[in-house]
Amino acid sequence: MPLRPHRIDGTIASMSLDVRPHPLRFITIGMTGGLFSGLTGVGGGAIMVPLLTGLLRMPQHRAHGTSLAAIIFIASAGLVPYIVADEVDWGLAAGLGAGSVTAAVLSARVMARVSERLLRQIFAVFLLLVAVRMLFA
């Protein structure tokens, strides 16, 4: 199995085995992300990134990008029942979206410049803070 470089901004960010896991793993990760997204409103990053890096041994940067791409479909599918139940504050959602788009573009540029290790550590601290917040909320 040859090693395949992953490039970010023209530099080699990491190496991973050029292995194509069974499609069932993709489906399982997607279903897990979708399940948690529908139940809790999260799933893309909090669930899928650890699964992509753990089960598929995907580099951290690629896992973040892949998760962001997948969340488009996950959020769209999960939104439908909330629309049907009239449980969406569209004005608030538009405001959240405007701020989120701006911050996401800026943070994606920063993310592409940090090391794989630092990105993993930042993500781990984020998940720990969310877990502590949820325990005491």
Facing residues of 4 across strands?
A: 16
Distances (CA, A) of 85 to 77, 89, 105, 111: 14, 12, 31, 37
Distances (CA, A) of 125 to 18, 38, 67, 117, 129: 29, 24, 18, 12, 6
Q: Which range among 23-27, 80-84, 96-100 shows the weakest confidence by mean pLDDT?
A: 23-27
Cα-trace Rg, the chain = 16
pLDDT class of 76 with cuts at 50, 70, 90: confident
Facing residues of 12 across strands?
A: 7
Of the candidates 34, 60, 57, which has an alpha carbon nearest to the alpha carbon of residue 123?
Answer: 60
The answer to whether the beta carbons of residues 38 and 78 sit under 8 Å apart is yes
Rounded to whole angstroms, the Cα distance separating 121 from 90 reads: 35
Of the candidates 85, 86, 105, 103, which has an alpha carbon nearest to the alpha carbon of residue 95?
Answer: 103
- Kindly report the backbone phi and psi dihedral angles of residue 18, in degrees, each rounded to the nearest multiple of 5, phi listed first: -85, 75
pLDDT class of 121 with cuts at 50, 70, 90: very high
The pLDDT value recorded for residue 47 is 85
Tens-digit pLDDT profile for residues 32-58: 887 887 777 666 678 888 889 998 899
| Predicted structure pTM score | 0.71
